[in-house]
């Protein structure tokens, strides 16, 4: 099964083609605000460079967030459009799952943490397994102080734990101070989702009979958008 995967929920737009007869190809572009104009261009560049025509794609996978509302909508809309146009299955995977699944060390706790603005973060905690099976207590949107409290309640303090994401980079000193010297914060180069990992997760979910219908591909929003807040004010 040849899978096209996209994620635009963070500052990095990532697109990949996971091929059954090769190592796959991936294109990553950094630059917030540019995803709308770059996504379809990136997909075309990837297909042209691999010599794979659209009709040879068997399924499409989209990162559904949480993260940038605009980026999530772009990725989901593109994936649904391609799935309908090519009559192929589509499946969504959480951006946090994608990030966690890229860091597999048996016994290591992994916590992707993304900046949600207004002093809040999107985060989750995984007792890591190959191709992360989901977070221990769901996907969270909390102020950073409450997220730290959540980590302590889970018994993370003093344990080997890997944090990754833009919020982890932003709060690296705080994480080490509050949770101990066993904390490792991934560098910027490893801080964002990878579309090849999204493709692998999507493949497993399709094999398990999950997803497939493009109509069921929806964003994972953990809070209201700024526009919704303004309308209620």
Lowest mean pLDDT among 28-37, 52-61, 72-81, 213-222: 28-37
Kindly report, residue by residue over 75-125, the tens digit of the pLDDT: 999 999 999 999 999 999 999 999 999 988 888 899 999 999 999 999 999
pTM for the structure as a whole: 0.93
For the chain, give every residue range classified as CATH 3.30.420.40.
3-95+193-232, 103-190
**In terms of CATH, what superfamily is 3-95+193-232?**
ATPase, nucleotide binding domain (3.30.420.40)
Q: Is the dihedral of CA 94, 96, 97, 103 positive or negative?
A: positive
Please state, in angstroms and rounded to a whole number, the distance separating the CA atoms of residues 126 and 105.
11
> How many CB atoms are located within 10 Å of the residue 188 CB?
12
Give, in words, the CATH class of 103-190.
Answer: alpha beta
Paired strand residues for 109: 127, 161
């Amino acid at each position: 099964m040849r899978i096209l995967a996209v994620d635009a929920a963070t500052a990095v737009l990532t697109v990949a083609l996971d091929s059954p007869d090769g190592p796959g190809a991936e294109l990553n572009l950094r630059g917030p605000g540019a995803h709308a104009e770059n996504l379809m261009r990136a997909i075309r560049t990837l297909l042209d460079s691999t010599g794979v025509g659209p009709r040879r794609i068997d399924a499409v996978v989209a990162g559904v967030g949480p993260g940038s509302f605009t980026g999530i909508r772009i990725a989901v809309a593109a994936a649904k459009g391609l799935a309908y146009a090519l009559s192929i299955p589509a499946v969504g995977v959480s951006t946090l799952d994608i990030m966690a699944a890229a860091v597999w060390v048996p016994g290591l706790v992994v916590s992707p943490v993304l900046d949600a603005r207004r002093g809040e973060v999107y985060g989750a905690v995984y007792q890591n397994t190959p191709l992360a099976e989901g977070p221990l207590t769901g996907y969270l949107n909390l102020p950073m102080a409450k997220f730290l409290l959540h980590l302590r309640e889970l018994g993370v303090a003093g344990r080997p734990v890997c944090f990754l994401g833009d919020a982890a980079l932003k709060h690296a000193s705080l994480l080490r101070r509050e949770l101990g010297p066993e904390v490792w914060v991934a560098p910027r180069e490893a801080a964002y989702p990878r579309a090849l990992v999204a493709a692998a997760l999507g493949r497993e979910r399709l094999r398990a009979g999950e997803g497939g219908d493009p109509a069921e591909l929806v964003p994972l929003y953990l809070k209201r958008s700024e526009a919704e807040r303004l309308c209620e004010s």
